[in-house]
Structure 1
């Protein structure tokens, strides 16, 4: 767009205020001149209180006020500045047509004084400009609504095409990508079992198996990201404790060396959906996968208040490097990062639930990730704060109050 055109459009509301000011000024000048006796009737009487003049002024004021108010209202309205020139053209067109018609009437009927001629011309311009402005604004709003409706239809069609494409991509990743990688992983594992430890065949098959598992994780994360971004899953009350217990059981089944200590209240409901399990599942998996301790230890604690549910997941790893902390939950530039899409997905899901996730602390003794979600009642009953949770007396697994 030409910058000069944008400047002109921005001035149009001021032009409207100026037109209203000119018409108001002409009307005031007429009154002053009539009062001073400059404009007098055929017999020399003052015309300021003449009925026709007063009627003309009273019928002019609404149109002049409307034109002036339009200049104030336009920049503050939802009308785009692209509509301003057409509105101004309608105003000028109305003024010219009204003036032409009334000049024709003046020529036919005639006038008895200069004052009458000036008043008639002023009245015709004001009325015509006001009516033209009204038509222009109405047309501008109609055009804008039509354009917005067309854009909305195009946007909807584009989103539908994107959704269909992503659904196809999701299906393709599942049936072609994931299945193929699982076949590779299975054969690599079989070669590992059949080859002697320490041999080249065992080493190569181990690399293939490990990398294929990494690819499987990436494909799974991408499919989940597609689901999070483009599927509208309704939110409902979900018990955080129940989700955590299931995910902890899955974690303990992965490796008997893992020690989990959990402090979970009886009930802690938040507004979420079936994807909430991926938030805690990924955090628990990260606490173990990136843990270089001989015995990976994970501590899970849930704290309830009237407003929120806070879940802390702590590990005994070596901590997260300082240079990784600022972009820990950002979109990874490469899937080669230690945490892949996992933490990015956790952040996206937490935001979807009107919550947050953060790295509460990290150091040589381990890291603590904190998830905070708004607390809700499982039904219409009032939520009350829960009692403080106690450590798991057994040392592993989840406990309830």
Structure 2
């Protein structure tokens, strides 16, 4: 069935009313000859009496000489009607007393029976604009956070660590000058400076991980890293006169994982955590490695008190630590951050030794 001209116009107007746009058709002089329901509703709700059929929309736009955007729209409509340009698009704010709003105005040209017409369509882009502004605000906040992190990194890596190194050096000089009664206090000083040094190292690594949004991952041999961190942990606890039994599984020399220089910090924090929360007379820590086709699993298990199931996720939160815990609450947070940074995971399960087992899965290089 072929519709007549009147039927076709009615059909076209009905179709315009379904669009989520405010649409008006202007004749060659800029007079509004047709609008859709969305245009009329917006005009009524915002008291825009000059935007109805019969009004000259170009004159309406030019009525406020201080409104640069409205003047630009009027100039564009005239250019489109004259055939000097095909279309015009302009984003603009149109805030009401109760809400912030943004729109896009689009002007297009068409001809009918030799006469030129322009279609003016306004689309509400408020949600998109608010999302863009929120993203820009967040980007500014992140930039400010990075500046703060850079300052804290400088403070932790240099100022605090340098002072602690001096204290440790002075404590070492006192070693031959204290009696048995004073040695107990000297040992406490040494242990405290070691703890502060470890804390500053962990904090600096956290800052480094947070500063770098796009880490340069590369193939790193796993065996040397694990061996070095186990040896460091043994030396650390020897200095503190705390006997610990570390057992390291044999790791094939050709096993490499995708990581960066902070990989050592991931394992050092797990090893220290296994001893720190261990109430055994002589803590035992086992490091086992499982090698798959695409993944490598490193399990750090201990014979301590274990971790209740209801805390096995929350312990990886920033600043999380147990009641009466001697830890800092950032070590396991750093472990989780680094595991995710490398495209891997970390979780806790029961250890065959009776305590907790931290299972780290990394991508094989």
Could you say which TM-score interval applies, normalised by the shorter chain? Answer: 0.5 to 0.7
Q: Determine which structure has the larger strand proportion and give its number.
A: 2
Q: Indicate yes or no: 2:325 matched with 1:337.
A: yes
Residue 247 of structure 1 corresponds to 229
Q: Indicate yes or no: 2:217 matched with 1:235.
A: yes
Cα deviation code 1:164-200 (max 9, x no counterpart): 2210111012222221222223323433442112x1x
Count matched residues: 278
* Structure 1 residue 146 displacement after superposition: 5.7
Q: Indicate yes or no: 2:162 matched with 1:179.
A: yes
Residue 166 of structure 1 corresponds to 149
Q: Indicate yes or no: 2:187 matched with 1:206.
A: yes
* Counterparts of 1:150 and 1:325, CA distance in 2: 38
Distance 1:330 1:165, change over 3 A: closer
Distance 1:310 1:57, change over 3 A: same
Residue 136 of structure 1 corresponds to 122
* Counterparts of 1:220 and 1:344, CA distance in 2: 14
Residue 273 of structure 2 corresponds to 286
Does the aligned pair in 2 maintain the 1:319–1:362 contact within 8 Å?
Answer: no
Task: State TM-score, norm by structure 1.
Answer: 0.57
Does the aligned pair in 1 maintain the 2:246–2:285 contact within 8 Å?
Answer: yes
Does the aligned pair in 1 maintain the 2:307–2:355 contact within 8 Å?
Answer: no
Distance 1:276 1:297, change over 3 A: same
Task: State TM-score, norm by structure 2.
Answer: 0.62
* Counterparts of 1:210 and 1:293, CA distance in 2: 19
* Structure 1 residue 227 displacement after superposition: 1.4
Cα deviation code 1:44-78 (max 9, x no counterpart): xxxxx9x9x9223313423422432429xxxxxxx
SS state of the match for residue 263, structure 1? coil
Q: Extract structure 1 runs of 4+ deviating beyond 6 A.
A: 91-96
Matching of residues 2-401 of structure 1 within 5 Å: 54-70=4-20, 88-89=41-42, 97=51, 99-100=53-54, 135-137=121-123, 140-141=124-125, 149-197=132-180, 199=181, 201-232=182-213, 233-254=215-236, 255=238, 258-291=245-278, 293=280, 296-315=283-302, 317-320=303-306, 322=308, 325-326=311-312, 327-332=314-319, 337-340=325-328, 341-362=330-351, 365-375=354-364, 378=365
| Greater relative contact order structure (CA < 8 Å, 6+ sep) | 1
Which ranges in structure 1 are unaligned for 5 or more consecutive residues? Answer: 1-48, 72-84, 103-129, 379-401
* Counterparts of 1:212 and 1:136, CA distance in 2: 67
Between structure 1 and structure 2, the one with the greater Rg is: 1
* Counterparts of 1:360 and 1:98, CA distance in 2: 71
Which ranges in structure 2 are unaligned for 5 or more consecutive residues? Answer: 22-37, 57-117
